[in-house]
A and B are shown apart, each in its own frame.
Chain A
Amino acid sequence: MYPYPFSYHRPATIDDALDLIGQFGEDGKVLAGGHSLLPIMKLRLAQPAHLVDITGIDDLRGIREIDGGVEIGALTTHHDILSSSLLASRVGLLPEMAHVVGDQQVRNRGTIGGTLAHADPAADYPAGVLALDATIVTIGPDGSREIAAADFFTGFLETALTSGELISAIRIPSLAEGTGFRYEKMANPASGYATVGVAAVVTLAPDGSIFGARIGITGASDVAWRATLVEEALVGTTPSDESIRAAANLAIGDQELLADVHAPAEYREQVTRNLVFRAVKIAIGNAAGR
C-alpha cells in the first residue's frame, strides 16, 4: 500500500524546519513518528505534496526536569515516556497512560508531540494532558507560544496550532503531595483506541477531604474535555462511593457525544460516567497512600 508521491525533506534544525513548513503551507505535513500520518497517507485520506521529517532535530527530543515540573520534548516516544523514572516520580499518570497507547511497536516509534498535534478524538494523551494541567509549548514563525492543554484541543482533529507552527515540548507541573491518579480506558478491541478514556488526578487534604481534582475525558466526544462539573462537585467533599457516583454523573455536561457502529451515544454516556467513577475512586485510593 503506497501513499501518493510526495517530496521528502529532513531539516537538521528547528529554523530550517520552520522555513520549510512556512514555504509549503497547506501542501506540507510534518512527519514525526508517523504512526498517525502514514496510515492516513497510505489510505490516501491525506496526500501532502511535501513531508517535513523533523525526527533529525535532537533539540525536540528528551525528558528534562524544570522548575516545578518536567518538560518533555515533542519527539519523545511513548516508550521513552513509560520507562522514565523522572516522569514516574513527578507526573506518574503520564507513563501509566503511555503503557496503554497502541502496542510495543507503536510505542517505540510514536511520539507525544505527534499524537497531540494530530488530536485524534480517541487518542489517550489528550485526557492526560488535560488532567495534568499541562502546557503545550509551540514554536512558529512568530516565536514561541505556551498553550494551556485546556485551550489546545479545539475540535475533531483540530488544535490551537496555527499554520507554520510546531509543538516543541510539553510542560507538566509536578504532582503535589497527597495526589493520586488513574487512567481508566475502555479500548476498542480491534483498534485499541479509546471508546472512552478517563484520566483523573485527585489531591487529598490532610483530613481526607478532596482539595483538588482534575478530570480529562477522551474518546466519548469529537474532542477531549475537562469535566469541570465533576471537579467542582468533588472539591471540598469527604469522598464516599455515593458522593463520587453523584459527581461522576455530571461528567457529560453539555458535551455532544459521538455515536458510531461501536457505541451509540447513550452507551458512551453510561461508560463515561462509570469510568469517571472508577478513575476518581482509584485515584483517591492512591492519593491516600502518598
Chain B
Amino acid sequence: MSDRLPIHTTINGVDHSISVEPRTLLVHLLRDELGMTGTHTGCDTGQCGACTVHLNGRAVKSCMVLAVQADGQHVTTIEGVAPTGSLHPIQSAFWEQHGIQCGYCTPGMIMSSLSLLAENPDPSEEAIRDALEGNICRCTGYTNIVLAVKEAAARIARGDVPQPIS
C-alpha cells in the first residue's frame, strides 16, 4: 500500500523526476532524499515555520505538505533565492540588521518574508509581524527581524540584486 509513486517537480528551477513514498513529507524529500538541508525541521507539527518553503510562489510549511502534492508544482527553498555564493538582498538585510542569532529559524523567516514582500512591497511593522506570525524565533525577540524585513523592502525597491559574498 505504500508503493513509491513517481513525481515530477521543479525545485529552485531544476526539474526533478523522483519516486516517493506517499507518506513522505515535502520537508523530508528536500532534506533526506535531495540533501537540501537549508530548509529546517523545527517542531514538525506546523507551529514553528522553520520548514517554510514556497509552493508555486507562496509560503507553505513543508512539514504540512506531502511530497506527492508537489507533483507538477514549483518549489523554492532558501537555496534557491540567490545563486550559490551570493546573497539575495533580504539575506544581506538579515546580515546587516543582525536579524539572526542561532540561525535555526532564519530560512523560514526569509521565505515567509519574501512571500509577504511579493504581495506587499512596502509593509508596515504591523504587516511584517502579522506575516511572520507563523514563524517562531526563540533568540532575537523579533525586533531585528522586523528591521531586516524593512531593510529588505528598501533594498528590493531600489533594485538591489544578489551580491557575491565578500
Contact = CB atoms under 8 A, between A and B. Distances in A.
**From DSSP, what is the main secondary structure of chain A's interface residues?**
loop
Interface string A181-200: 00000000011100000000
Contacts of A3: 23
B22 A6 contact: yes
B64 A5 contact: no
A136 B110 CA distance: 38
Given A39-B45, A42-B44, A108 B60 contact: yes
Given A34-B64, A109-B64, A5 B69 contact: no
A38 B64 contact: yes
B115 A108 contact: yes
A53 to B, nearest CB: 7
Main secondary structure of the interface of B (DSSP, over half): loop
B58 A79 contact: yes
Interface residues of B, number: 37
A89 interface: no
Given A106-B134, A109-B60, A8 B116 contact: no
Given A5-B2, A34-B66, A105-B49, A51 B22 contact: yes
Contacts of B60: 105, 108-109
A104 B68 contact: no
A34 B25 contact: no
7 closest cross-chain pairs (CB), A and B: A103-B134, A5-B2, A8-B22, A103-B133, A108-B58, A1-B44, A105-B61
Given A79-B58, A106-B46, 8 more contacts: A5-B22, A10-B68, A10-B71, A34-B69, A105-B64, A108-B55, A190-B47, A192-B133
